[in-house]
Amino acid sequence: MPDGVLGPKRRTIRDVDGLIRAGLAAETDRTRLDSVAEKYAVAITPDILALIGAPDDPIGRQFVPDVAELALAAHESADPIGDEAKSPVKGIVHRYPDRVLLKPLLACPVYCRFCFRREVVGPDGGVLGERELETAYAYIAGQTGVREVILTGGDPLMLSARRLGGIFRRLAAIPHVEVLRIHTRVPVADPQVVTDELAAAMDIETPLFVVLHANHQRELTVEAVAAVRRLQLRGIPVLGQSVLLAGVNDSTAALAGLFRAMLRARIKPYYLHQLDPAPGTARFYVAPARGRDILAGLRGTISGTALPTYIWDRPGGAGKVPL
């Protein structure tokens, strides 16, 4: 791991051997699963492993590689939402006039089997070096219409408190940057990483929002909620984002459970994403018409404060539209 990035947990499963030892894969699938793992990174942290009862349960499906990932559908794309087309300098995606994405690294604590950036994320880190970061800051400084910088990746909470604090200081010094946001799965996948030291580094003058990615109520464990609370106690609002996934949360009951669990943890459900057509993800697809029916079932069932916007990221970088 490069300097300033947290190393892998010792007991994190990172290969097919580990999957077989944990009873999550059959020896007979080894060769084909090796091909999957060569193409798309694998990581299952001990916290996530403890939630998996079987490879095809709602948690297992999200993280356990499947030979079906080798099958590519005609409509799938290596860059489904057009990050590349909207990237003026390395690490920046500028899709909307008033905000930019900054991707300081491409490593994650876990690798979701449906990830829309699965072709680029991985344990090698993809960390922006100092010079690349300087170029990214200079780009943002030159774009006076940009009010919000969204740190995403990969997972920015894989950075050390020192490195994250350094990035915040540079962004906060740009006069037109009013708001910062971080997209993360760390509080769910590896809650111990959200230490008091990290929370203190995130306690900054510039308004900072954290958006937590969780797809099933069982991900919001006591430990995950406590990690979220460490951030909230620093005055950091936490929003929730989820992906509508077949076999994970594609029912009114499953989504009601997830969004209620978020509210109990003081997390405001923000977006429910339609699946992006990344390669080998067809087993997670839910048709938008069915998604709308599921959402319609939620109205009147759960509090309006628990309802996110059901959103579709159009291909090629054309941006989000509500479904």
User: Which residues form the catalytic set?
Assistant: 95-96, 99, 108, 112, 115, 117, 276, 313, 320
CA angle 280, 286, 292 (to 5 degrees): 155
Q: What are residue 162's phi and psi, to 5 degrees?
A: -65, -45
What is the maximal distance between C-alpha atoms in the chain? 58
User: Tokens in use for 109?
Assistant: 């604590």
Q: How far is the CB of 106 from ligand SF4 (least distance, A)?
A: 8
Q: What are residue 63's phi and psi, to 5 degrees?
A: -125, -20
Q: How far is the CB of 189 from ligand SF4 (least distance, A)?
A: 7
User: Tokens in use for 101?
Assistant: 């994405």
94: number of Cβ within 10 Å: 18
The DSSP code for 284 is: G
Q: How far is the CB of 154 from ligand SF4 (least distance, A)?
A: 6
CA angle 158, 125, 4 (to 5 degrees): 50
User: Tokens in use for 129?
Assistant: 């070096």
Instruction: Answer yes or no: are the C-beta atoms of 178 and 147 closer than 8 Å.
Output: yes
Nearer to ligand SF4, 101 or 112 (CB): 112
Nearer to ligand SF4, 99 or 117 (CB): 117
Q: How far is the CB of 303 from ligand SF4 (least distance, A)?
A: 27
Which range touches ligand SF4 (CB under 6 A), out of 48-56, 81-89, 115-123, 198-206?
Answer: 115-123
**Relative orientation angle of helices 288-298 and 252-264, to the nearest 10 degrees:** 60
Nearer to ligand SF4, 83 or 250 (CB): 83
Give the C-alpha separation, 121 to 154, whole Å: 6
Q: Which residue in 112, 127, 140, 210 binds ligand SF4 (CB under 6 A)?
A: 112
Q: Which residue in 47, 83, 155, 313 binds ligand SF4 (CB under 6 A)?
A: 155
Q: How far is the CB of 242 from ligand SF4 (least distance, A)?
A: 11
Instruction: Answer yes or no: are the C-beta atoms of 252 and 281 closer than 8 Å.
Output: no
Nearer to ligand SF4, 47 or 155 (CB): 155
194: Cα separation from own chain's centroid? 16
Q: Which residue in 37, 42, 121, 275 binds ligand SF4 (CB under 6 A)?
A: 121
Determine, following the binding rule CB under 6 A, whether residue 158 of this chain makes contact with ligand SF4.
no
Which range touches ligand SF4 (CB under 6 A), out of 108-116, 244-252, 284-292, 311-319?
Answer: 108-116
User: Tokens in use for 244?
Assistant: 């509508």
Query: Which residues 174-203 are close enough to bind ligand SF4 by CB under 6 A?
Result: 185
Nearer to ligand SF4, 150 or 174 (CB): 150
Which range touches ligand SF4 (CB under 6 A), out of 109-117, 126-134, 171-179, 279-287?
Answer: 109-117
Q: Which residue in 115, 161, 231, 255 binds ligand SF4 (CB under 6 A)?
A: 115
Nearer to ligand SF4, 250 or 302 (CB): 250
User: Looking up tokens 């051997």, which residue turns up?
Assistant: 17
Burial track 307-321 (b if 16+ CB lie within 10 A, e otherwise): bbebbbbeeebeebe
At residue 287, what is the residue type?
A
Nearer to ligand SF4, 106 or 174 (CB): 106
Q: Which residue in 111, 137, 271, 284 binds ligand SF4 (CB under 6 A)?
A: 111
Q: How far is the CB of 117 from ligand SF4 (least distance, A)?
A: 5
Task: By CB under 6 A, name the binding residues for ligand SF4.
Answer: 108, 111-112, 115, 117, 121, 153-155, 185, 213
